[in-house]
């Protein structure tokens, strides 16, 4: 799947990639708009994170249930943690 994942990452805008990688590193991310999460993962503003999340959710790359965000594909999340 490496080539598929590399292709997907090549098509995702930079700020969305940053949020996606942060969520993958957390495994189950909560409080993604909080200052703590943003600083920990060196992300941009809360509004930038929110718009990136909206796009990632619309593309079914990230899922959210009960305020917890996860990368939809478990193997993709593992690949992200291993490569970023």
Please tell me the predicted confidence (pLDDT) of residue 40: 96
Specify the pTM. 0.95
Distance from C-alpha of 60 to C-alpha of 65, rounded to nearest angstrom: 13
Q: Name the burial class of residue 80, with classes exposed (0-12), middle (13-18) and buried (19+) by CB atoms within 10 angstroms of its CB.
A: buried
Calculate ∠ Cα 21-77-34, nearest 5°. 40
Please tell me the predicted confidence (pLDDT) of residue 44: 92
State pLDDT tens for residues 12-50: 999 999 999 999 999 999 999 999 999 999 999 999 999
Tell which phi-psi region holds residue 13, choosing left (phi > 0), alpha (psi between -120 and 50) or beta.
beta
Please tell me the predicted confidence (pLDDT) of residue 47: 95
């Amino acid at each position: 799947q490496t080539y598929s994942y590399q292709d997907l990452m090549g098509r995702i805008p930079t700020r969305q990639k940053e949020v996606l990688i942060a969520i993958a590193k957390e495994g189950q991310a909560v409080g993604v708009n909080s200052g703590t999460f943003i600083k920990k993962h060196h992300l941009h503003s809360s509004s930038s994170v929110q718009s990136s999340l909206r796009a990632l959710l619309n593309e079914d790359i990230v899922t959210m249930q009960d305020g917890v965000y996860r990368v939809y594909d478990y193997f993709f999340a593992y690949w992200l943690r291993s490569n970023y």
